[in-house]
Amino acid sequence: MLLKHVEGFLTHLRVEKSASQLTLISYKTDLIQFFDFLAGYYHINREELTVSSLNHLAVREYISNMQKKELSRATIARKLAALRSYVKYLCRENVLEGNPIANISTPKQEKKLPRFLYTMEIDMLLDAPDTTKQAGMRDKAILETLYAAGVRVSELVGINLSDLDLDEEWIIIRGKGSKERLAPLGRKAKAALINYIVNGRPYYLFKSKAANDALFLNKSGTRISARSIRNIINKYVEQLAINHKVSPHTLRHSFATHLLNGGADLRAVQELLGHVKLSTTQIYTHLTRDRIKAIHNESHPRR
């Protein structure tokens, strides 16, 4: 039975791979969708699927089905990654004698350059909150921290007060796989955080009347969510009439791009972003071509 091994697989991911709750939910959803496809493919109930149902031909049909539905290449790749991981687990547990999908290739990914904001746009966005109000103090601190530390939104919402060292201007960030790294803060982010912690956060904390170590709080006085962060950014983007989509990740992309444009070492940016592979960071080098061309124009004697 294929289905009965899913919970064991998820436990394996959580315990041995330190997978986040979001990853666990995504993998479970992707696997259930695959099982639903297989059930339809073999004209049986999902619960009747056996390990012999999982073979090279069936997975090729699954990929073809996703392509017919016009799913993006990134989505197909993610669903295949979940399936590959599950099959490896089944092999490790001796449920499968061999990997039946080892020769299945993932559709080639489209290389999309990450969207970023120019320095002037960043300044406009970070200065948009009204810091005479508690909500503005909080929003300012959120935006400054996203840009100063280059953190993912999931990392931002997980920051606790105890993770801050404002004297040394560092934050402890818990990234993917529960890996910790230190992220530096600039003076502007530090000032925004101090103002929020002293004058804004107590207002939100009073709403819950309960001890809470979360740095950023919502209107109920509990830890703010990633969705709320996105809504906050959308509010200011609309207010400023910025004519393209801006997400929390846009600030992270801007952070990396501006560092590289300023001459930062690629490996240093990799460390700051918390990337495991340098190749993940290298995509930002495509965004610095204008800067490289400008240096060439200014410096080459034959220009």
User: How many residues are there in the chain?
Assistant: 303
Catalytic residue among 223, 235, 249, 291: 249
89, 196, 236, 284: the catalytic one is 284
Q: 252 an active-site residue?
A: yes
In the structure encoding, which two tokens stand for residue 204, read together? 């939100």
176 annotated active-site: yes
203 labelled catalytic: no
Quote the CA–CA distance of 28 and 264 in Å, as a whole number: 40
Place of tokens 């080098």: 285
Report which residue type is found at 296: H
- What is the C-alpha to C-alpha distance for residues 298 and 211, in angstroms, rounded to an integer? 57
Catalytic residue (one of 176, 219, 223, 230):
176
Catalytic residue among 174, 252, 253, 258: 252
Give me the phi and psi of 15, to 5 degrees please. Answer: -80, -50
Six token digits for residue 59: 């997975």
Among 79, 152, 174, 253, the active-site one is 152
CA-based radius of gyration for the chain: 23
Q: How far apart are CA 10 and CA 12, in angstroms?
A: 5
Q: How far apart are CA 107 and CA 126, in angstroms?
A: 39
The catalytically annotated residue of 84, 219, 275, 291 is 275
Map residue 184 onto helix, strand or coil.
Answer: strand
284 among known catalytic residues:
yes
Q: Return the DSSP state at 170.
A: E
Name the residues annotated as catalytic. 152, 176, 249, 252, 275, 284
